[in-house]
Amino acid sequence: MVMDYSLPEDSLFLGFDSSTQSLKATVLDTNLNIIASETVHFDSELPHYKTKDGVYRDPSGTGRIVSPTLMWVEALDLILEKFVNAGLDFGKIVAVSGSGQQHGSVYWKKGSSATLASLNPEKPLLTQFGDAFATKESPIWMDSSTTVECREIEKVVGGALQLSQLTGSRAYERFTGPQIRKIYKTLPDVYHDTERISLVSSFMASILIGSYASIDETDGSGMNLVDIRQRVWSKIALEATAPGLEEKLGKLAPAHAVAGLIAPYFVERFHFRNGCLVIQWSGDNPNSLAGLTLNKPGDLAISLGTSDTIFGITNEPHPGLEGHVFPNPVDPKCYMVMLCYKNGSLTREDVRNRCAEQSWDVFNKFLEITPPLNGGKLGFYYKEHEILPPLPVGFHRYVLENFTGDSLYGLKEHEVDGFDAPSEVRAIIEGQLLSMRAHTERFGMPSPNRLIATGGASANQSILKAIASIFASDVYTVQRPDSASLGAALRAAHGWLCNKAGKFVPISCMYDNKLEKTSLACHLSMPAGDAQLLSKYTLLMKKRMEIEDQLVQKLGRS
Ligand code: ADP
Ligand code: XUL
């Protein structure tokens, strides 16, 4: 019997993206075309939380970075109201899913499951969750305050490499396990008062279903707590992190599973249909992987959002001391590999504001008037503690004397205090991209057949041109730069189909033969740069890595 993998006629699929600076949402129709999208920008639209870039940074320099949990709750009501005003027919939505910024965590206070189960549709969410959390501040992925806890966890598990081989990553400051351990050690009352710990993804799903949603296997792998091959909690990692933790985490679920049905609150307040499915939410990068329809090992995606990430897929993971391996959220047999940089868009904005009159147009003009290779000028810009390489806040600039790109022989570099404005602009863009290329090669990712760019900065053609030159690869984009909410909407449809089939169905069944006719289609935005320039960039990259390794020796955290 031939299975029918068609989606229901005249239906809609809603995908959210609860990210660092905003909550976004995308609606797909049955033909996988975008019919609506909305955004709530935290700093400007919810100014009473007084966040900067959606976060609070500890001014005393501990590296502690958190977001107010209630801001995410209020944003959910607000974005749904925007859809009401835009005339969205909520009754047609048959499945919802979402993306959460990875690693961030929420600490539900004892008794909050009852709050979740009895939401009053007459009142906004905000007024009902005021007392629901054991701490009102959620640690997020930008936090770098848990180095001690990272080393403690790695030691118990047998070392950094062992932890990586088990969970897909060595211990990283932003990963949820080290964050939980820090709360257990420094705020024992908060840990004790917590009945459930959610990730940002499972937190938002919990509100939508009116009870605690499971953590999905993929986003769960950003915690240093999941055995990525078995896709279960790792007992030894749990024990190394905090006592009684498994009970507070609940069960893991595959990303394509149904988390629950939409809660009566949303049916009555926004007229969602009874029985609308909420599919497990997952991490923003994994959902981008789905939204960009990455399906071959030669496909690489570069996401230029608040963080910069580069990711692809692999059948055979080899987790090491650098980078991350997560289970693929749309293929139970396959994995995604990823590198993550903290100094992404906000650090580019800093250079734009200092050197380019706070304007992307001026920034782009500077990129266009400076030559590729930047006359041998190399810059390292860490406005925040960097993840890759692990370096503290600081800017380092070097000039390679007489660099032509033909040889590194006899070449000397010297450190300088600053560059002229156009060179500074080129130095940050080339520097970030050369680092990505070098580390993907070091990590063993295949060189790309095609690169798909996404995230806020992928709207910038001058940046896409630099990517095409440094990787000598064609650069593709999709219709909208927010692939995380698009991927979430696609996963909502996938989850709906798996639920109907009563088993896992390959996601490609949904778009086989018609991908090009949908909003998921990738379009060539920038053709690959030439091979001669590539070999010059290869030399510059080698030199950059030499300098980077020296900086890590001198300044890096152990
Ligand atoms: P996130 O999802 O992590 O909150 P986004 O993917 O929405 O972030 O990206 C937001 C960032 O996009 C902003 O911080 C901004 O610097 C960047 N951005 C937006 N437009 C441009 C542009 N034309 N050129 C470069 N960067 C841009
Ligand atoms: C990934 C990471 C960031 C966040 C941003 O490991 O820390 O990319 O997911 O939202």
Tell how strand 215-216 and strand 252-253 pair up. parallel
Best residue among 142, 340, 346 to mutate for probing ligand 2, ranked by most atoms within 8 Å of CB: 340
Distance between CA atoms of residues 381 and 386, nearest Å? 9
- Phi/psi of residue 528, nearest 5 degrees: -55, 145
**Bond into 68 cis (ω within 30):** no
pLDDT at residue 532 greater than cutoff 70 = yes
Q: Where are the alpha helices (DSSP H) in 175-332?
A: 176-186, 188-193, 200-209, 217-220, 235-241, 245-249, 264-270, 284-291
pLDDT band of residue 99 (cuts 50, 70, 90) is very high
Given the CA of residue 349, which atom of ligand 1 is nearest to it? 16
Given the CA of residue 20, which atom of ligand 1 is nearest to it? 4
Span 90-101, average pLDDT: 98
**Is the separation of the CB atoms in 425 and 356 below 8 Å?**
yes
pLDDT band of residue 182 (cuts 50, 70, 90) is very high
512 vs 307, higher pLDDT: 307
What's the 523 CA to ligand 1 centre distance in angstroms? Answer: 20
Q: Count CB-CB contacts under 10 A for residue 404.
A: 12
What's the 341 CA to ligand 2 centre distance in angstroms? Answer: 8
Q: Nearest C-alpha to atom 7 of ligand 2 is from which residue? A: 141
What six digits make up the tokens of 343? 């100094």
In tens, the pLDDT along 331-381 reads: 999 999 999 999 999 999 999 999 999 999 999 999 999 999 999 999 999
**Is the separation of the CB atoms in 522 and 359 below 8 Å?**
no
Given the CA of residue 304, which atom of ligand 1 is nearest to it? 6
Which amino acid would we find at residue 522?
Answer: C
What is residue 446's predicted lDDT score, i.e. its pLDDT?
Answer: 78
What six digits make up the tokens of 366? 């500077």
Q: In the block, which residue shows the tokens 């979402």?
A: 98
H or E segment and range at residue 419:
none
In tens, the pLDDT along 451-508 reads: 999 999 999 999 999 999 999 999 999 998 899 999 999 999 999 999 999 999 999 9
DSSP letter string, 132-157: -BSSSEEE-TT----HHHHHHHHHHH
pLDDT over 70 percentage in the chain: 99
What is the chain's mean pLDDT, rounded? 96
Best residue among 105, 224, 309 to mutate for probing ligand 2, ranked by most atoms within 8 Å of CB: 309
Most distant CA pair in the chain, distance: 74
CB-ligand 1 contact for 18 (6 Å cutoff)? no
Strands of the sheet containing 377-382, edge to edge, are: 377-382, 394-400, 413-416
H or E segment and range at residue 316:
none
Question: Which 8-state DSSP code applies to residue 529?
Answer: P
Distance between CA atoms of residues 461 and 240, nearest Å? 46
pLDDT at residue 123 greater than cutoff 70 = yes
Question: Which 8-state DSSP code applies to residue 55?
Answer: B
Q: What is the dihedral of CA 371, 463, 414, 392, to 10 degrees?
A: 170
pLDDT at residue 171 greater than cutoff 70 = yes
CB-ligand 1 contact for 456 (6 Å cutoff)? yes
Q: Count CB-CB contacts under 10 A for residue 36.
A: 17
What is residue 513's predicted lDDT score, i.e. its pLDDT?
Answer: 81
In tens, the pLDDT along 379-404 reads: 999 999 999 999 999 999 999 998 99
Dihedral sign, Cα of residue 305, residue 311, residue 312, residue 316: negative
**Is the separation of the CB atoms in 316 and 444 below 8 Å?**
no
> Which domains are assigned to the chain?
12-287 (3.30.420.40), 345-449+528-555 (3.30.420.40)
What is residue 2's predicted lDDT score, i.e. its pLDDT?
Answer: 58
Span 304-313, average pLDDT: 97
Given the CA of residue 21, which atom of ligand 1 is nearest to it? 4
Give the residue from 300, 297, 320 showing the smallest Cα distance to 309.
300
- Cα 348 from chain centroid (whole Å): 18
Q: What is the pTM of this model?
A: 0.97
CB-ligand 1 contact for 360 (6 Å cutoff)? yes
What is residue 511's predicted lDDT score, i.e. its pLDDT?
Answer: 85
In this structure, the residues whose C-beta lies within 6 A of any atom of ligand 2 are 19-20, 101-103, 141, 174, 222, 283-285, 307, 309, 340
Span 311-315, average pLDDT: 93
pLDDT band of residue 556 (cuts 50, 70, 90) is confident
Distance between CA atoms of residues 21 and 35, nearest Å? 23
- Which of 41-45, 170-174, 293-297, 545-549 is least confident? 293-297
In tens, the pLDDT along 403-447 reads: 998 998 888 899 999 999 999 999 999 999 999 999 999 988 878
Distance between CA atoms of residues 339 and 243, nearest Å? 30
Q: Where are the alpha helices (DSSP H) in 253-325?
A: 264-270, 284-291
What's the 79 CA to ligand 1 centre distance in angstroms? Answer: 19
What's the 481 CA to ligand 1 centre distance in angstroms? Answer: 9
**Which are the contacts of 29, defined by CB distance < 8 A and separation ≥ 6?**
11, 12, 13, 35
- Sequence length of the chain is 558
DSSP letter string, 420-486: -HHHHHHHHHHHHHHHHHHHHHHHTPPPPSEEEEESGGGG-HHHHHHHHHHTTS-EEE-SSS-HHHH
What is residue 1's predicted lDDT score, i.e. its pLDDT?
Answer: 55
**Is the separation of the CB atoms in 148 and 181 below 8 Å?**
no
What's the 343 CA to ligand 2 centre distance in angstroms? Answer: 11
Q: Count CB-CB contacts under 10 A for residue 341.
A: 21
pLDDT at residue 557 greater than cutoff 80 = no
